[in-house]
């Protein structure tokens, strides 16, 4: 079941708190001239994994915020099964990240802005809720979407003004 909460209309306070932490991660990416996407993984009300895009710095196509946060969370729990965790990410995950979320057995995903070009949770695909797969993820979208989307819009406008990306 896909659940959507619009920013000014009954967003869970807890979701906003942890989305703000993901936004701080995204700002760290932007500071390093990376696409500003950030993610945190929460277990029992505590952040156990953090990540932000580092593809340029690491020259690694898999160095997405979600992948880094999942790896950190698995390390913190000493288990690849993140069955009691929630991920908060500023942008709807791509197919690679959505697949990793399913494989990690994450039960809940909260994202900010939708990604009409690569979103794999609601926009283009529904990997996280595909009944043919071995795990189902509850998805909450559009949490602080304006703030998350504005970071991306501003970043790419700045990159274009500099003749980049």
Q: Which of 7, 16, 25, 66 is catalytic?
A: 66
Sheet hosting strand 138-141, strand order edge to edge? 2-4, 138-141, 108-113, 85-91, 38-43, 46-52
Helices (DSSP H) in 32-144: which residue ranges? 55-58, 65-77, 95-103
Angstrom CA distances, 37 to 9, 52, 81, 89, 120, stand at: 24, 6, 23, 7, 15
144: left (phi over 0), alpha (psi -120 to 50) or beta: left
66 is catalytic: yes
Report whether 17 contacts 7 (CB < 8 A).
Answer: no
Residues marked active site are found at 66
């Amino acid at each position: 079941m896909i659940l959507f909460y619009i920013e000014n209309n009954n967003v869970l306070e807890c979701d906003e708190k942890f989305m703000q932490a993901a936004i701080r991660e995204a700002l760290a990416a932007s500071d390093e001239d990376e696409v500003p996407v950030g993610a945190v993984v929460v277990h029992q009300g505590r952040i156990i994994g953090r990540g932000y895009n580092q593809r340029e710095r690491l020259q690694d196509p898999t160095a997405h915020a979600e992948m880094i946060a999942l790896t950190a969370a698995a390390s913190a729990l000493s288990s690849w099964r993140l069955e009691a965790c929630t991920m908060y990410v500023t942008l709807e995950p791509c197919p690679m990240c959505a697949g990793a979320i399913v494989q990690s057995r994450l039960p809940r995903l909260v994202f900010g802005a939708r990604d009409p070009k690569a979103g794999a949770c609601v926009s283009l695909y529904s990997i996280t809720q595909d009944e043919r797969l071995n795990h189902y993820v509850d998805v909450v979208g559009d949490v602080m979407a304006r703030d998350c989307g504005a970071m991306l819009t501003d970043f790419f406008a700045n990159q274009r003004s500099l003749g980049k990306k």
